[in-house]
Structure 1
């Protein structure tokens, strides 16, 4: 395997034998292959992909799609039925809550046990122990049996051990969802630090924004098969289309995804190189060439969004705007089904796909009651565009709180550019500066 690769998977498969009755296992043993008393269930089937050193790859897919089975085979805790896996470097894995911990051992004893499994000597673990304890933040509970820990304490200690040993490959399977927001931020900061050191990361999550923010590429799995390897934005949008699509349309979607190229060159990279218009006196305008190429429309399940536009103070449609000014985002459409209650939402995304801001109508906990089928709707969302110069994307949707029905949703429905207004002394996505910074030397 090339030294540039951390993981290479070739035609990997895992098959389980499912017996309908307990005594069928005994019959199968005596049959010696002359007759089959089981049915085959392929949890993973003929997966092939490569992960480069220092690359962070997200894995998404519905429950039962084979994500965890894949990770267990990469970690060698599960033997494949067919295919090959080659890894290059020390692997640390956080596969499930409490995995690798002996519940009768104390936290301290489990730290040393796990570190030894990962290949660290006692002296190396001694050097890292204070950092592990500080990261986990479980205090004196480190001397108590792990069986007395809460789920939050368990995942804190488990992540601390795996992440603080500086692995070449780190595998995380949805375990971070257990921690509170403060701890999750701490974990993601550590993941970014490991990325900067060249650690390859495999990250399973149902959170689209987390995958988009953290990962360089993403894999979409469905029914044990690899459907797509592409940019995180493209994979997350395809995944969301799949989970929101009616069951009758899901097979067609999978066929559509299967026809796409395995390696997708994200067009977002091209847009990120766009030159920002610089002018001493910015003027709002409409650029017909400023059209998103990643527009994704979800199935219409009772509503149809027709337009999502930016209007200036005079009601003109614009997509080249001046920072720090007020605009309204106008969403129009029609209801094609009967709902008890609905609500509307709008959001801005960056070129990388991160959600910058959003707004819903009515406010949280309130709804438009008993809207009439066939009626057209228009919602005006007001925003102060305190954004830095660059390109952004607008999407929106109509939802019903009953069973979480998405009546219609469009991702990247339109695109706009914020012009430069001169010298900048701040950075990020949003300009929150109230006054110039003050400086003095004593």
Structure 2
């Protein structure tokens, strides 16, 4: 009965959640395709662009917890659709930007609007799915993140081709159209999302009862787990090391996200749509490599050597991007993107298996929230170095160094399974759904 209820949820609700995540990723990263346009039209230089791109992550981190508290109060149907409609409105408003100040303000507002979406969906899954089914649902949802990296370039490039239509610049059309799509999807989502199991008319009474009881049993088991303060978590050696590694990985991932289109544009003679298509190549290769590698590493008891290898690949890729032609740079950044995506795929299972059981769930949340601040540091540092040196090479060297530091951190981690707090002969708990550098 529980299997049947879960299958219905996966068929009816998960596709909408995946679509929402794809649009979410597109709206937060689309500024990467208009850096040169913002500089030429409204005077947003490299340093200002980097700061504005990064400000999103500051407001997102500040308002993430309050947003989740409000979602618990109002329910997923109301709150997740509110989040989506409001971030669509802010994205649409970006087509009216007229200088660096409005760019900063709207990027900060976008972070406020989006705050809580990803963890909100993760919480939503806990209210609908027992622990033993949640890993599958999380994998389906996170697949939307990989898809977003691939489709954002071509879609944004196509909207940029509307340059001059109605007397508006292509970048203004891009923000207007993608913001409108977000609002439309948010309105449609209101008809697909159901906050509570008892409100799902597409479940039978027996299915609702069985699913509710299964989730209640999981909650009772979790309520007996010891609580650990956030301050103690930050000072926990394993949590601190994992946060350092994830922060370094986030630096590379977000730097590539925000600066890749500009680097591709240096090839010259390309239309905005062609820039978008070429910008998708590194992510297509990264997703293929990620899923191929996971087939082998999922069976390995110790993922540390593999994570170290892909981090070195990121370091080599970002370093090689400083050499040769823009085409060579694109190939080098493809290596870096492969390393970044494969690293994220290896990192979270490693984090789950190397933390003490008593701090696993809360420790992963701390690692995700602090590590994602790399999304602020990376574009800000990149922009500052480009404006002061006239080149992105300094930023790429910094990413190489950060990846190599992360390699050291990986080998300082305790071997997975060593002293994680599972008593001999005791059954290990179900894996905690992995957060993401979303």
TM-score band, normalised by shorter chain: under 0.3
Q: Which has the higher helix share?
A: 2
**Structure possessing the higher relative contact order (Cα contacts under 8 Å, 6 or more residues apart):** 2
**TM-score normalized by structure 2?**
0.23
**TM-score normalized by structure 1?**
0.23
Q: Which has the higher strand share?
A: 1
